[in-house]
Structure 1
């Protein structure tokens, strides 16, 4: 089976739920290979301790009868809709990659018969697929997720500059946005050390206090759904606004350093961030200078009336 998933930039696509992009990257035609979730230690620069990693378990699919409430509706439903239950299951599969019915039902707070019924409906829609261990993300989610972008023309405007930046620096390069108080990776290259530095993929979610997130939070209006801000954040945010740069020097992952700059749309409104990810042997100040020049070039494309058309043409030399 061949899926054509490239979406024409600048097209009139509906503004799909951003989390679908994350879920889309989890779909594959083969069962996922087990990976070590703790291979890289992720931490908050203001707290101690590692995040708890949830493991999924294999489970059978034979369930007791589901209790019913009034009018024959499931007793679990209350004010929750069927759609919410389906998206809870999709979200759990996005985290687990592959999981059995018992774990999915418990993780989502659903009776097993309800979870089974919703999962089978999602299977019929190709949103979920059966797997040896239960269920995994389906091909329809993959297709839907690749139709979303946070700003018209962002993919087109950044595609070639990002490739050139990766080739010139050897660093991993990522385009990121803020969603639901977290850093969402929209597009990510591999750099010289694919998978060795910061594990991730297109659609991966990181804390907002990565360099890519901080450079956007520093200029964002009040009211973002963030955790309580540390006392020193206001000072760091002022420095970020003044320099246009945010740094991460092994604050999130040991041995990993990052520098990020904002990407501006019309009206000089930040719409995304450009982030370079490397190891401790590289000069972050030099990378910061290059990132700012490339960031300004991408922003110029986004603010141009012909941003989409010009982004599809070969990029000018940005790194000379």
Structure 2
């Protein structure tokens, strides 16, 4: 029996490297990363180009993720869906203090200020991290600092109401001034970072550094979620 040469034998179809199980997951996450960083919804052509996929492959992945609520299509363009936020929210309360711990400890030691980090969701304010600075600890006991930070007149609630940095001077505690900055976190919730120092301190010079630290924490959280 005459055997066929290698050139003449039919070859089994080779799997597309873009559609294997591992690659499908990698490509799906690549699309999600692009959508998470986009400032507006994107069309499938832009998304496919951004991750280096054929348009048909990108469209198929998007449709599959849409069925799970992870992405959604509006007017022929795609954006993250509520499903992805629900997943992020599950791990959020523990992820936030973990991401912030080192940065806030360093800032507290450098300034002597008390720092509080709160997570706000479902109309509930939860303290997730605190650093009782040396300067404030000498004036206000730790337990009273915690109560003051959550006071209705505190800078925290002003920041949540206005969506921007807020300050209060001696309104909650006559011994202290406080500034707070809100920032968004993965999952669509809000965190608020607050700093308190003895009354009469130079708070103006600390506003920009506090905003910078909040931005770094937000960036750390986004990186951890990818």
State how 1:1-320 maps to structure 2 within 5 Å.
151-178=93-120, 183-193=125-135, 194=137, 196-197=139-140, 199-200=142-143, 204=147, 206-216=150-160, 218=161, 237=162, 241=163, 244-266=164-186, 269-304=188-223, 306-307=224-225
Structure having greater relative contact order (Cα 8 Å, sep ≥ 6): 1
Name the TM-score, length of structure 1 as normaliser.
0.37
Structure with more helix by fraction: 2
Q: 1:91-111, CA deviations, whole angstroms, 9 ceiling, x for partnerless residues?
A: xxxxxxxxxxxxxxxxxxxxx
User: 3-state SS of the aligned residue for 1:298?
Assistant: helix
- CA 212–192 in structure 1, closer or farther in 2 if over 3 Å, else same: same
Give unpaired runs (5+ residues) of structure 2. 1-89
Distance 1:290 1:182 in 2: 27
User: 3-state SS of the aligned residue for 1:173?
Assistant: strand
Give unpaired runs (5+ residues) of structure 1. 1-147, 219-236, 309-320
Contact 2:93 2:128 (C-alpha < 8 Å) held by counterparts = no
- CA 202–301 in structure 1, closer or farther in 2 if over 3 Å, else same: farther
Structure with more strand by fraction: 2
Following TM superposition, the consecutive aligned residue runs of length 4 or more in structure 1 with deviations greater than 4 angstroms are 179-183, 201-205
Q: 1:271-310, CA deviations, whole angstroms, 9 ceiling, x for partnerless residues?
A: 2111001112311111111100100000111222x259xx
- CA 180–264 in structure 1, closer or farther in 2 if over 3 Å, else same: closer
Q: 1:178-226, CA deviations, whole angstroms, 9 ceiling, x for partnerless residues?
A: 478675432211111326236427975723331122212x2xxxxxxxx
Supply the RMSD in Å over aligned alpha carbons. Answer: 3.0
User: 3-state SS of the aligned residue for 2:143?
Assistant: coil
Could you tell me which residue of structure 2 aligns to residue 221 of structure 1? none
